[in-house]
Amino acid sequence: MSNFDVIKERDKKYFMNTYSPVDIAFVKGEGCYLTDSEGKTYLDFLAGIAVNALGYNHPIFTDALIEQAKKVTVVSNYFYSEPRGLIAEQLVKGTNLGKVFFGNSGAEANECSIKLARKYFYKRGENKYKIVSARQSFHGRTLATVTATGQEQYNKPFAPLPGGIGIYVPYNDEEALAKALGDKEVAALLIEPIQGEGGIMPATESYMKLARELTKKNGQLLILDEVQTGAGRTGKFWAFEHYGIEPDVVSAAKGIGGGFPISACLATDEVAEAWTPGDHGTTFGSAPLACAVGYAVCKKIREPGFMEDVTRKGEYLRARLKEIKHPKVKEVRGMGLIDGMEVEDEAFAKAIYNDMLSKGYILNVCGHKVMRFVPPLIITEEQIDEMIEELKKTVASL
Ligand SMILES: *Cc1c(COP(=O)(O)O)cnc(C)c1O
């Protein structure tokens, strides 16, 4: 039996049947490359699903992790913490947001955002509790967030779903948005600036502006799910900065820890004031280990030139993707290094995925028929060129 067969047999026996993995087990990463159990290397355009912002084994990441691990890792939220304050400061820097709560996953960040919105109106004695979200959205797998997720495939088997959540509007449809927000019981609009899992679909500028305008006018909160788009992925630290709007609440996760689990709910000082001690909590959230690593990663992303570089490489990637001509290649879209190439159907997308993988390139399919490109933010133009040349050959062969 090969190394892989041994790994697979045990893993398949014990790991719950919630995914259908491909026959690869990665054992090591360096920069933008991953190595599998058989020694084959791959150029990675998935980055653990937009997580490994600085790639693999980056000294800023590993040094922060090791240094903090030697000091203290988890102490509970019953005490003050220097790493917690430091990363919170990085996250809100230059924005209208003032306070942060930490969790361990994107779903937890959204749970916190939803609970905060409800507590905000509860405290004011207003009967506002409904959470409006978009079709084709993705907000996580807890009962509340999977209900907010506007895709039946994720939530249908788990009924009864929590009430007041799961009120969906078609994305980028201004008329439908105005109608849904007209309901006086709506507390918040929860929306992704760019739908990630749904197929790399950016919100139009006028839609985001309208979302801000209407929620403000109606006395509702605007919650942005920046779990996939945050931490420099779009070329600005937060995607909302592209739209010139100020949200009330923001959920973040994936990229902020650069590969260490940490998530955050950010809110304006005014909204965060709704909390009183005991309302919300977590054992692992804001662990010094997670916060120290996240702080080092976010500080690096905020270094002068880093995000400009992401913008430039993103433009380059999209320009090169647009060179790919094939009757089944439909559209290229995205922002910074969260980009998609929509193709005709799922079968074609899967064929591209499989052929690229066999050649040592990790892509991903989201929204059934969109090739997703979310590489480490440190990817180089040369690496983009290398992938594009192979992608051209793959597409031409199909
Ligand atoms: C990945 C993702 C989530 C869920 O994050 P988990 O860490 O898997 O819980 C939520 N919202 C968006 C936009 C995401 O991309």
- Catalytic, 101? Answer no
Please tell me the distance between residue 371's alpha carbon and the centre of ligand 1 in angstroms. Answer: 18
User: Ligand 1 center to residue 103 CA distance, Å?
Assistant: 12
Q: List pLDDT tens digits, range 40-84.
A: 999 999 999 999 999 999 999 999 999 999 999 999 999 999 999
Tell me if 106 CB under 6 Å of ligand 1: yes
Is residue 372 lining ligand 1, measured as CB closer than 6 Å? no
CB 301 within 8 A of CB 53: yes
Tell how far CA 146 is from the center of its chain.
15
Q: Which ligand 1 atom lies nearest to the CA of residue 108?
A: 9
What is the C-alpha to C-alpha distance for residues 145 and 109, in angstroms, rounded to an integer? 10
Ranges under pLDDT 50 in the chain: none
Query: Is the minimum distance from the CB of 107 to ligand 1 under 6 angstroms?
Result: yes
Whether 225 lines ligand 1, by a CB cut-off of 6 Å, is: yes
Q: Which of 138, 237, 260, 373 is catalytic?
A: 138
- Mark whether 138 is an active-site residue: yes
Q: What's the pLDDT score for residue 1?
A: 84
Parallel, antiparallel, or unpaired: how do β-strands 201-202 and 194-195 relate?
antiparallel
Q: Is 232 in the pocket of ligand 1 (CB under 6 A)?
A: no
| Ligand 1 atom nearest 49 alpha carbon | 1
C-alpha 137 to ligand 1 mean position (Å): 10
Residue type at 317?
L
Instruction: Extract the runs of DSSP E, i.e. beta strands, from the chain.
Output: 26-30, 33-36, 41-44, 99-103, 130-134, 165-169, 186-191, 194-195, 201-202, 221-225, 249-252, 263-267, 329-335, 338-343, 361-362, 364-366, 370-373
- Give the pLDDT confidence score for residue 392 in this predicted structure: 98
Q: Is 197 in the pocket of ligand 1 (CB under 6 A)?
A: yes
Catalytic residue check, 225? yes
- Reported pTM: 0.98
Q: How far is CA 53 from CA 6, 210, 275, in A?
A: 31, 31, 32
**What's the CA-to-centroid distance between 184 and ligand 1, angstroms?**
28
How many of the other CB atoms lie within 10 Å of CB of 319? 12
Q: Which DSSP category does 100 fall into?
A: E
Catalytic residue among 254, 300, 313, 369: 254
Ligand 1 pocket, residue 139 CB under 6 Å: yes
